[in-house]
Amino acid sequence: MRKIRRVQPSKPAMPKRKRVTAYARVSSGKDAMLHSLSAQVSYYSDYIQRHGGWEYAGVYADEAITGTKDDRREFQRMLEDCRRGKIDMVITKSITRFARNTVIMLEVVRELKQLGIDIFFEKENIHTLSGDGELMLTVLSSFAQEESRSVSENCKWRLRHKFAEGRPSSTTMLGYKLVDGVFMVEPAEAEIVRMIYNDFLSGMGKTAIVKKLLADKVPTKRGDSWTELAVSHILRNEKYIGDMLLQKTFSKDHISKKKCFNKGELPMYYVENSHEAIIDKDTFQKVQAELDRRAAYFHPSKESPGAYPFAGKIICGQCGNTYRRKIGNAGSKYARPVWICTTFNKMGKAACPSQQIPESILMELDPGFEKLVIPKANTIIVVMPDGSEVTTHWEHKSRRESWTDEMREAARQKHLEYLKGGRA
């Protein structure tokens, strides 16, 4: 009799789908550029999901920022997801969209390569996991960086040439609009400027002027909120008397594009009577003299970054301003150093509902932090130099904890005297 053995068929292993994402970026906040970004996101979403062997892992997109690594939130989020094993492949339009700095480019490529993550550059048709991918990328990214530098230098030359001819490049200044290279008065905005000058000469301070503008819901040119700095810029701006001082600032380099004040590094150009004035020169000179007088009288103390270990490093999550140091309960036995949001300190809770923090709480944190962000009450986000974040919570220490034995005995005696007085 023939013996028959039954064999159970094994199930074929299902091929693992590759988790693919895309990265997109535009370097301008103009509507056309943001529309381009939206189109890129739609294109990559459809492109990845139509591929049979891929699993859609989302699209990371940064708006209106440069190609430097640290300034891009979505780029950083993408890298973090790569490190957590959520992504197998990244698609991006070109080398310049990914990073303009060759060093940054190669750092990211090599890190992701060690994690087994491929980056595909569509324009250059390069896969970083291919044998010659890194060599080609090094050469092409160097060309891309040099091209970026060349474009930047050409733009700088064009702007400086316009400055030398006495022509402004652009403006977001309250009171004017730029028409064919000439400042034209915006009547409604000009009235706001005149009101600010008149209020200042009548004795109002910059803080009081800001409170008035906010209370009256007066709009700004950029749509943001009024600040003392904004009022100060208006009071110091020579363009309101019909003159122009050009090239007050300049970009440090083509990669970071950090704006610096011109302190003699480049020539400046002063053009008189270049456009219609909003403020007469006599009023303007009176305001400058009053600004200087108040500055000399009040001697404002500016905390230098080295004055205290937390100066300039604590950011308010409510309004975005920095915290400053002050003595809480000054003049009492409970006096202690605290850190408070600058907006809250000057404008009150209506302008910023933040919370002051005892310096003793901050002293307990890791001293190696990069900055501290205060998103809400009793919460601190500690940001380290490598970009990692740790959220910590704190509570006010009981006032009883700071009492000495003598203070407790004095309080007890006072309470006993009160009880004796009530029985009499």
pLDDT in tens, 13-54: 556 789 999 998 876 555 555 567 888 888 999 999 998 889
Q: What angle is formed at CA 77 by the lines to CA 146 and CA 35, rounded to 5 degrees?
A: 65
Give yes or no for residue 67 having a pLDDT over 50.
Answer: no
Q: Which residues contact 273 (CB under 8 A, 6 or more apart)?
A: 242, 243
As a whole number of angstroms, the distance between CA 19 and CA 85 comes to 10
Tell me the CATH number for domain 18-148: 3.40.50.1390
In the chain, CATH 3.90.1750.20 sits at: 165-298
Give yes or no for residue 254 having a pLDDT over 50.
Answer: no
As a whole number of angstroms, the distance between CA 241 and CA 148 comes to 38
As a whole number of angstroms, the distance between CA 222 and CA 238 comes to 20
Q: Are strands 357-358 and 336-341 parallel, antiparallel or unpaired?
A: antiparallel
Q: Report DSSP letters for 345-384, one per residue.
A: HHH-TTT-----EEHHHHTTS-TT-SEEEE-STTEEEEE-
Give yes or no for residue 12 having a pLDDT over 60.
Answer: no
As a whole number of angstroms, the distance between CA 180 and CA 169 comes to 10
CATH entry, 165-298, from 3.40.50.300, 3.30.420.10, 3.90.1750.20, 2.40.50.840: 3.90.1750.20
The average confidence (pLDDT) of the chain is 77
Residue 140, token pair as written in the block: 């092409």
pLDDT number for residue 237? 85
pLDDT number for residue 101? 67
Residue 274, token pair as written in the block: 């270049």
Q: How confident is the model at residue 258 (pLDDT cuts 50, 70, 90)?
A: low
Q: Which residues contact 131 (CB under 8 A, 6 or more apart)?
A: none
As a whole number of angstroms, the distance between CA 141 and CA 106 comes to 9
Q: How confident is the model at residue 387 (pLDDT cuts 50, 70, 90)?
A: confident
As a whole number of angstroms, the distance between CA 210 and CA 245 comes to 26
pLDDT in tens, 279-332: 998 999 999 898 888 887 765 555 444 457 788 889 998 888 889 888 887 777
Q: Tell me the one-letter amino acid at 360.
A: S
- For the chain, what is the total number of helices (H) and then of strands (E)? 12, 18
Which of 301, 322, 302, 326 has its CA nearest to residue 313? Answer: 322
In the chain, CATH 3.40.50.1390 sits at: 18-148
Whose structure tokens read 């006032």?
A: 399
Which of 71, 72, 42 has its CA nearest to residue 59? Answer: 42
Give yes or no for residue 245 having a pLDDT over 60.
Answer: yes
Residue 303, token pair as written in the block: 């905390």
